[in-house]
């Protein structure tokens, strides 16, 4: 039992504390090396902007997004990128609300609408739309993600470096004045992405804002639940870099409560284990620093719920010793704070003292349930987004006909 506790505690401490500290140290040494080379060589280390405005395709899937689609289209109008060099492909995935007529009413000249009458999920929609994109670079986002005006330019400037295949932007959450565990967690994840990018070991991308070279896009597997992670890792597997740009900013509303976020996290948890089937080669130490990040930031994090359970059980079994009794009491105290956070979350009340433990426990429980779903094979790529308001259904030409027409025109 002592061995079980030690192994579990080491995994937890390494995943959440030691690994970030190690990244800080390595990134600091990397920056020092870059500064010395810059100072001695007097070379320009700024990112060179792209010559002109390369053609870009903005692609996203929408299912019953009437509540946000008008704001999304207004946001597209405000982007500081030439409209004649930017095409927007919207795949409506069997919408039963007013998403389709709202897009038609907006009448943006550079928007192409595809209305899929049979629900297939976001990965399938992307697999159909990306091959139709005429841009050299494809930017993938979500219907509820709003870009800062200069975000597209910030993303595409990196592609002047031929070894870069994917650029991840910074997704920020807006929730007014209410603090939450989700906000703290997101800042923690953002820091890790920034440090990993500096060390060329970034794994995955923010699904709400990232860009790839169209030539590197591979069809997302049928069970590719977390498509953003898979697309970025496929780029990695083809030998190209994935980088992070904190100036390519997009905004998204935080979940109204942890209870709403919980369902999404279960789906992501199941998708994590599905993704291993297609990306396991990057776990090989021969892959370089990316293997360290994959093991540390992803695999160990996915195993943390099991380690937490094992640590608690072993601490209780050894509670006759003061150290293990203290550890068991600490775990019990966290559970009590999480329970308080659960009750207060239902009332819309947030305090760091109980909201952070609640979010931590809830997200690890979601990962554990995601593992069970993966083992049972019950998670699908089709799911309903949170906080949506379906309205009256509409009719439109089928996506299959639109695809054939576009192919014939080509």
pTM of the model: 0.86
Q: In whole angstroms, what is the distance from residue 307 CA to residue 321 CA?
A: 20
Helix (H) or strand (E) segment spanning residue 289:
helix 289-293
Of the candidate ranges 64-68, 107-111, 178-182, 268-272, the one whose mean pLDDT is the lowest? 178-182
Mean pLDDT of 308-318: 97
pLDDT tens per residue across span 378-390: 766 665 665 543 3
Per-residue tokens: 357: 């433990």
Beta bridge partners of 172: 251
Query: Residue 54's pLDDT band (boundaries 50, 70, 90)?
Result: very high
Of the candidate ranges 61-65, 168-172, 180-184, the one whose mean pLDDT is the lowest? 180-184
Q: Closest Cα partner for 294 from 279, 305, 308?
A: 279
User: Tell me, what's the pLDDT at 382?
Assistant: 64
Q: 214, 133 in Cβ contact below 8 A? A: yes
Distances from the Cα of 118 to the Cα of 62, 96, 97, 198, 393, angstroms:
13, 11, 14, 42, 13
Domains and CATH numbers, the chain: 56-289 (3.90.550.10), 291-376 (no CATH)
pLDDT tens per residue across span 173-212: 886 545 567 788 888 999 999 999 999 999 989 889 999 9
* The pLDDT of residue 38 is above 80: no
Distances from the Cα of 19 to the Cα of 14, 29, 269, 376, angstroms:
6, 15, 21, 31
């Amino acid at each position: 039992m002592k061995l079980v506790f030690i192994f579990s505690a080491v995994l937890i401490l390494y995943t959440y504390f030691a690994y970030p500290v190690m990244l800080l140290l390595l990134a600091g040494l990397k920056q020092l090396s870059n500064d010395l080379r810059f100072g001695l060589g007097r070379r320009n280390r700024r990112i060179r902007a792209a010559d002109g405005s390369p053609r870009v395709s903005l692609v996203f899937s929408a299912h019953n997004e009437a509540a946000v689609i008008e704001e999304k289209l207004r946001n597209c109008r405000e982007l500081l990128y030439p409209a004649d060099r930017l095409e927007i492909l919207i795949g409506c995935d069997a919408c039963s609300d007013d998403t389709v007529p709202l897009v038609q009413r907006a009448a943006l000249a550079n928007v192409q609408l595809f209305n899929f009458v049979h629900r297939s999920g976001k990965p399938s929609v992307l697999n159909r739309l990306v091959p139709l994109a005429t841009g050299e670079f494809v930017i993938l986002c979500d219907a509820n993600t709003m870009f800062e005006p200069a975000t597209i330019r910030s993303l595409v400037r990196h592609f002047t470096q031929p070894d870069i295949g994917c650029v991840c932007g910074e997704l920020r959450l807006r929730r007014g004045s209410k603090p939450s565990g989700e906000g703290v967690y997101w800042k923690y994840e953002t820091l890790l992405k920034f440090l990993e990018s500096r060390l060329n070991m970034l794994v995955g991308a923010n699904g709400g804002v990232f860009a790839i070279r169209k030539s590197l896009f591979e069809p997302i597997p049928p069970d590719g639940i977390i498509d953003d992670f898979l697309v970025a890792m496929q780029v990695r597997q083809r030998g190209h870099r994935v980088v992070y740009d904190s100036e390519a900013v997009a905004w998204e509303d935080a979940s109204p409560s942890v209870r709403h976020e919980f369902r999404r996290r279960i789906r992501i948890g199941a998708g994590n284990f599905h993704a291993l089937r297609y990306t396991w080669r990057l776990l090989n130490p021969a892959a370089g620093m990316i293997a360290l990040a994959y093991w540390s930031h992803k695999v160990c994090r996915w195993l943390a719920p099991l380690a937490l359970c094992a640590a608690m059980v072993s601490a209780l079994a050894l509670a006759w010793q003061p150290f293990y009794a203290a550890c068991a009491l600490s775990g019990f105290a966290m559970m009590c704070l999480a329970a308080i956070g659960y009750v207060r979350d239902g009332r819309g009340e947030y305090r760091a003292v109980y909201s952070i433990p609640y979010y931590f426990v809830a997200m690890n429980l979601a990962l554990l349930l995601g593992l069970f779903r993966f083992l049972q094979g019950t998670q699908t790529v089709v799911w309903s987004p949170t906080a949506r308001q379906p309205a009256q259904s509409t009719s439109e030409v089928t996506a299959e006909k639109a695809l054939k027409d576009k192919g014939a025109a080509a």
